[in-house]
Structure 1
Amino acid sequence: MNPKVFDTKEVQDLLTAATNLAAADGNARFKQILHRLLSDLFKAIDDLDITPDEVWAGVNYLNQLGRDGEAALLAAGLGLEKYLDIRMDHADRLAGIAGGTPRTIEGPLYVAGAPLREGVSRMDIDPDPDAGPLVIRGVVTDTAGKPLQGAVVECWHANSKGFYSHFDPTGAQTAFNLRGAVKTGPDGRYEFRTLMPVGYGCPPQGATQQLLNALGRHGNRPAHVHFFVTADGHRKLTTQFNIEGDPLIWDDFAYATREELIPPVVEKTGGSALGLKEDSYKEIEFDFALTGLVQGKDNQVVHRLRASA
């Protein structure tokens, strides 16, 4: 039996009372959002005849998700973060904003406070015998191709084990290993000297992978490198590129891959002169084009809780 009660006065009054919707007290926007979300949940329970056992299994899962600290990871894995990008892309099209490097998800593993260097940053603080040297370089410009002086490029990525410093469960990495920030000069150029990353997987016993297992999905990402790029008079860019040739490029559990964000990887020599650990190294050249402010404002800045060190 599936009792349909959502549309009854009793349930609608309950929703109004639970969210204090009719009162002047509290945050009106928060109450509006919660009323909608709670209504959608109640209606889903009605429509799908979700049992009390299933409801409490969901509540217990949320408790576990909080204990594991994986809510932001799950947001990426369920496509929530990608959906926000799709909405921002659509808003740009409606506003007639064209050009610029494509955005993609930030992910949960940024750490604020990486040392800011002029033009070039050495990121491989900790030795990693399983990772070869990598140089990432390029130019920051506006959408007309003019180099932007004083732009700040922040970069972070995983090591050869798929772990990020600050979040490494082995505790083997220092705070800002494989994290860096550079400020561009008059030519708009930036450069990071680092090590080749690999992809990572969700913690196998964590709440995110538990949910993905129930969906019959994997929780793996291809090798990739994250960036924030900022400059006066321009909108902040949040993006990442994937490492060419990774077999998971088009099977990313976080849905971050975009065609324009797969630059070629070029074999180079001369790494010894750059201070790299080997003379042979790989190079990725990737330019960033930033879009201008919208009516004097940066509507791409996302306020969320982030780690700092």
Structure 2
Amino acid sequence: MNEGFVKTPEIQALLDRVAGVGVPDGNARAKAIVRDLVEHLMVLVARYEISEDEVWQAVNFLQKGAGEFGLIMPGIGLEHFIDLYLDARDAEAGKIGGTPRTIEGPLYVAGAPLVDTGANLTQDPDDTTTLYMTGRIFGPDGEAVKDAIVHVWHANSKGFYSHFDPTGEQTPFNNRRRLRAAEDGTYSFHSKMPKGYSVPPNGATDQLMQLLGRHGNRPAHVHFFIEAPGYRRLTTQINFGDDPFAKDDFAFGTREGLLPVPNRQGDSAHVAFDFHLQRADSGDDERFSARERLSVAA
């Protein structure tokens, strides 16, 4: 059917009622967004002549896959799109430079122990290479950032994160810490080298990737939040540049400038990586986004 059907008076009137247009209560911005969103969905139904069965198959997929939305969002590129959109807004405002932002992913846990720089992140036995990571945190004018907190989290050598490990074997906050950087902006830590992972087999994300002819693999990587008074909070991660999926990350987390290659020597691997922060324009720039995150007492 021609998608012009959506522009007929009957459908347009339906959309107005759906979005509460003309009703004094409610939020005007939410009304406009919901109206556009539903209209775009209607256009897709008409454009591709989506059947009733296909509509409800999609609804069933979303209902059953609700627990994996944190993986589906990066898997379909929406989380990466938000990063690109924010970059474009920054460029329009003349805010350039700094370490690239990239996706947070769904596996952060608030409440990790706050420790001094130089700490060991790994509590559990893990017979693999030891990762040593060092660097400095700079501001936009090259100044050392004071009072910085470095949130670090990564998987173990099986590709599992503590608090989300299906084996239940990891202790709380294994490979998770908040580091107090030194006054000169330096930070360091060591831990057992993480491994990349794949999405849960036969789960909603895996089913979607198979439908699209794609894989669901992530390279080995380490996640970071960097926060400091007066600076914009940075959400980023490094992918190890020598991982086979480093430039084919199903979650689109790879960005230029975030692909260090570890210096591997025997049973150790060394990564030197500096973070460059942007100045905060307001308190909003320093705070975490409204994303819901697991919170556990240390």
Q: What TM-score does the superposition give when structure 1 sets the normalisation length?
A: 0.91
Contact 2:116 2:181 in 1 (8 A): yes
Query: Structure 1 residue runs of 4+, over 3 Å off?
Result: 1-4
Give, as a single letter, the amino acid of the residue that structure 2 aligns with 1:23.
V
Give, as a single letter, the amino acid of the residue that structure 2 aligns with 1:212.
M
Give, as a single letter, the amino acid of the residue that structure 2 aligns with 1:36.
D
Contact 1:162 1:197 in 2 (8 A): yes
Superimposed CA distance per residue, residues 166-194 of structure 1 (whole angstroms, 9 cap, x where no aligned partner) = 11111111120011111112211111110
Contact 1:121 1:181 in 2 (8 A): no
Give, as a single letter, the amino acid of the residue that structure 1 aligns with 2:252.
Y
Separation (CA, whole Å) in 1 of partners of 2:109 and 2:282? 30
Contact 2:231 2:286 in 1 (8 A): no
Contact 1:229 1:238 in 2 (8 A): yes
Give, as a single letter, the amino acid of the residue that structure 1 aligns with 2:19.
T
1:82 to partner: Cα distance:
0.4
Contact 2:242 2:261 in 1 (8 A): no
Separation (CA, whole Å) in 2 of partners of 1:300 and 1:98? 20
- Of stretches 231-240 and 258-267 in structure 1, the one that deviates more from structure 2 is 258-267
The within-5 A match list for 1:29-40 is 29-40=29-40
Give, as a single letter, the amino acid of the residue that structure 2 aligns with 1:232.
P
The within-5 A match list for 1:125-164 is 125-129=123-127, 131-164=128-161
Paired residue for 1:60? 60
Paired residue for 2:121? 123
SS of equivalent residue, structure 2 residue 168:
coil
- Of stretches 6-15 and 72-81 in structure 1, the one that deviates more from structure 2 is 6-15
Separation (CA, whole Å) in 1 of partners of 2:100 and 2:275? 9
Give, as a single letter, the amino acid of the residue that structure 1 aligns with 2:29.
R
Separation (CA, whole Å) in 1 of partners of 2:53 and 2:42? 15
Q: Structure 2: any 5+ residue segments left out of the alignment? A: none
Paired residue for 1:218? 215
Separation (CA, whole Å) in 2 of partners of 1:189 and 1:227? 15
Are residues 1:227 and 2:224 paired? Answer: yes
Separation (CA, whole Å) in 2 of partners of 1:12 and 1:37? 13
Q: Identify the match of residue 78 of structure 1 among 70, 76, 79.
A: 76
Contact 2:198 2:216 in 1 (8 A): yes
Q: Identify the match of residue 100 of structure 2 among 95, 99, 102.
A: 102
- Of stretches 297-306 and 100-109 in structure 1, the one that deviates more from structure 2 is 297-306
Separation (CA, whole Å) in 2 of partners of 1:296 and 1:308? 22
Are residues 1:45 and 2:32 paired? Answer: no
Separation (CA, whole Å) in 2 of partners of 1:170 and 1:39? 44
Q: Identify the match of residue 192 of structure 1 among 183, 189, 194.
A: 189
Paired residue for 2:294? 307
Contact 2:3 2:47 in 1 (8 A): no
Separation (CA, whole Å) in 2 of partners of 1:305 and 1:159? 23
Superimposed CA distance per residue, residues 70-125 of structure 1 (whole angstroms, 9 cap, x where no aligned partner) = 01110000000000000111111111112211111111111111111122221111
Separation (CA, whole Å) in 2 of partners of 1:120 and 1:228? 17
Give, as a single letter, the amino acid of the residue that structure 1 aligns with 2:261.
P
SS of equivalent residue, structure 1 residue 182:
strand
Superimposed CA distance per residue, residues 107-148 of structure 1 (whole angstroms, 9 cap, x where no aligned partner) = 11111111111222211111112x211111111111222111
Separation (CA, whole Å) in 2 of partners of 1:204 and 1:83? 25
Q: Identify the match of residue 281 of structure 1 among 268, 277, 288.
A: 268
1:268 to partner: Cα distance:
5.2
Paired residue for 1:24? 24
Contact 1:154 1:227 in 2 (8 A): yes
1:297 to partner: Cα distance:
4.7
Separation (CA, whole Å) in 1 of partners of 2:113 and 2:286? 26
Separation (CA, whole Å) in 1 of partners of 2:161 and 2:63? 25
1:283 to partner: Cα distance:
1.2
Separation (CA, whole Å) in 1 of partners of 2:81 and 2:286? 16
> How much identity, in percent, do the aligned residues show?
47
Contact 1:225 1:241 in 2 (8 A): yes
The alignment covers a number of residue pairs equal to 296
Separation (CA, whole Å) in 2 of partners of 1:249 and 1:76? 15
CA RMSD of aligned residues (A): 1.7
